[in-house]
């Protein structure tokens, strides 16, 4: 359930008409509902309330400071993959001992920063990284807490670009090498082994792949116990899918039940890294129709947002529902909804039936709260759009629109030119 609903044919975010925000901040803009973010986070937390757990929201899905602050206030941690995300998390008030750090390519400066900040643990993805973290710990005279990220080789049955737990993917250590890596880790003096982690993929719409992954992890834990290696944290990553179109993913309660059943009796603290399931349907991208154009093959609706603002349709052929901000048309048209960027891949929808629109009308691209703004860019020298958060009947600009000056910030022309 989300708080983007029509009242008298006007789309509202909580108590604020979306068109009113558009008048104030201009278009395009991202719009987040505070109540929806909160509700989704709490639903997830509640689902696991019977067991020790930590919800580390996945910063890559939405890393706006206001969003992270909201979760910090609800006791949330953070799943990060870069020094930049660590910076954002701590700036937003997330406690370092609630931060876990995954990623196949952590740099020395990022590792140092995370050790010095005192994060809960690194999810280590290779032997070389293990040695590097140990070396950083030795130099900083600190012990780095670690989990090894295991690649369980299960098929999450999602888009291939967002599958991560198959042997052919770059992530984690294979089951056999993981046991070896654990043995190696226990021999290192500046790392402390505290956990095991995995993440099989994103937009997973059934529980079975999570359960298969957990079974494999449990097998490995049994092997580790026989070796005298004990684990306190079990991080099962994120990945639970949402409804964009017709999907019917499990509710967090169903997901939690399947996971807890698969775990049986255990004394681990569970770590969850949800991103999309919390933020996805808590945000929309609002855009204005610039032109309508009748082509020889098909008709186009040209809007002021583009692939640089929301890349998911271009990159994954992803579906985002398109709704009029003012619902006053009965007639539908079948069109390609496209942006101004100079690429044929710059589309939001192809051959989509939408209500008839004309220049000046506002459209909402739904389910854009996760991997929307965070994946946006300045391609075509387009300033990045503002992010706005509604709280009840007030809206707050939580990131201002970039200016042309912002576009060239940090650039310089060398004197020889």
Cα distances (Å, whole numbers) of residue 409 to 386, 400, 405: 17, 15, 6
Question: Is 314 one of the binding residues for ligand LLP (CB under 6 A)?
Answer: no
Residue 249 CB, shortest distance to ligand LLP, in Å, is: 11
Binding mask 166-205 for ligand LLP (x = CB under 6 A): ---------------------------------x--xx--
Residue 28 CB, shortest distance to ligand LLP, in Å, is: 18
Count of residues interacting with ligand LLP (CB under 6 A): 24
Question: Is 391 one of the binding residues for ligand LLP (CB under 6 A)?
Answer: no
Question: Is 312 one of the binding residues for ligand LLP (CB under 6 A)?
Answer: yes
Count other Cβ atoms within 10 Å, centred on residue 75. 12
Cα-Cα-Cα-Cα dihedral sign, residues 179, 183, 186, 189: negative
Residue 279 CB, shortest distance to ligand LLP, in Å, is: 8
- Whole-angstrom distance, CA of residue 316 vs CA of residue 367: 15
Question: Is 275 one of the binding residues for ligand LLP (CB under 6 A)?
Answer: yes
**CB-based contacts of 57, cutoff 8 Å, min separation 6:** 41, 68, 71, 76, 77, 78, 79, 273, 274, 275, 278, 279
| β-bridge pairing 299-303 and 332-338 | parallel
Beta bridge partners of 121: 100
Phi-psi region of 388 (alpha: psi -120 to 50; beta: other; left: phi over 0): beta
Q: In the range 70-109, which residues lie near ligand LLP by CB under 6 A?
A: 79, 102
Q: In the range 290-309, which residues lie near ligand LLP by CB under 6 A?
A: none
Residue 226 CB, shortest distance to ligand LLP, in Å, is: 28
- Whole-angstrom distance, CA of residue 239 vs CA of residue 196: 17
Q: Which helix (H) or strand (E) segment is 114 a member of?
A: helix 108-117
**CB-based contacts of 84, cutoff 8 Å, min separation 6:** none
Question: Is 34 one of the binding residues for ligand LLP (CB under 6 A)?
Answer: no
Residue from 56, 136, 198, 342 carrying the catalytic annotation = 342
Question: Is 126 one of the binding residues for ligand LLP (CB under 6 A)?
Answer: no
Quick one: which segment of 238-246, 330-338, 348-356, 389-397 binds ligand LLP (CB under 6 A)?
238-246
Cα distances (Å, whole numbers) of residue 178 to 47, 136, 147, 175: 30, 21, 10, 5
Q: Among this protein's residues, is 13 annotated catalytic?
A: no
Residue 101 CB, shortest distance to ligand LLP, in Å, is: 10
Q: Which residues bind ligand LLP (CB under 6 A)?
A: 58, 60-61, 79, 102, 162, 164, 199, 202-203, 237-240, 273-277, 312, 316, 370-371, 375
Catalytic machinery residues: 342
């Amino acid at each position: 359930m989300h708080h983007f609903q029509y009242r008298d044919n006007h789309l509202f975010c909580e108590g604020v008409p979306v068109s009113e925000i558009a008048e104030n901040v201009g278009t395009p803009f991202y719009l987040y509902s505070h109540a929806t973010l909160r509700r989704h986070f709490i639903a997830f937390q509640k689902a696991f309330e019977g067991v020790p757990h930590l919800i580390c929201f996945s910063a890559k899905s939405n890393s706006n400071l206001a969003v992270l602050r909201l979760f910090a206030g609800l006791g949330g941690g953070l799943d990060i993959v870069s020094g930049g995300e660590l910076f954002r998390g701590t700036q937003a008030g997330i406690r370092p001992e609630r931060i876990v750090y995954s990623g196949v390519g952590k740099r020395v400066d990022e590792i140092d920063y995370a050790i010095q900040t005192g994060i809960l643990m690194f999810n280590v993805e290779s032997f070389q990284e293990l040695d590097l973290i140990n070396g950083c710990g030795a130099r900083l005279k600190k012990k780095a807490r670690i989990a090894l990220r295991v690649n369980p080789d299960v098929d999450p049955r999602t888009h291939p670009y967002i599958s991560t737990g198959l042997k052919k993917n770059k992530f984690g250590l294979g089951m056999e090498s993981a046991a070896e890596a654990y043995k190696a880790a226990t021999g290192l003096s500046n790392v402390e082994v505290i956990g095991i982690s995995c993440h099989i993929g994103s937009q997973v719409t059934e529980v079975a792949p999570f359960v298969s992954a957990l079974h494999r992890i449990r097998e490995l834990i049994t092997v580790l116990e026989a070796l005298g290696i004990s684990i306190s944290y079990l991080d099962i990553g994120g990945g639970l899918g949402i409804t964009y179109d017709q999907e019917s993913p499990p509710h967090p309660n169903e997901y939690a039940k399947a996971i807890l059943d698969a775990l049986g009796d255990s004394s681990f603290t569970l770590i969850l890294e949800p991103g999309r399931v919390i933020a996805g349907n808590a945000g929309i991208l609002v855009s204005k129709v610039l032109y309508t154009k009748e082509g020889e093959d098909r008709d186009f609706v040209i809007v002021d947002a583009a692939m640089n603002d929301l890349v998911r349709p271009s990159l994954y052929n992803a579906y985002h529902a398109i709704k009029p901000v003012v619902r006053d048309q009965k007639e539908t048209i079948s069109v390609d909804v496209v942006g101004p960027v100079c690429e044929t891949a710059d589309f939001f929808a192809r051959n989509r039936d939408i209500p008839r629109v004309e220049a000046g009308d506002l459209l909402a691209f739904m389910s854009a709260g996760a991997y929307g703004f965070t994946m946006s860019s300045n391609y075509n020298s387009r300033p990045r759009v503002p992010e706005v958060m509604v709280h009840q009947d007030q809206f707050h600009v939580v990131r201002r629109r970039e200016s042309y000056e912002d576009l060239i910030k940090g650039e310089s022309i060398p004197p020889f030119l």
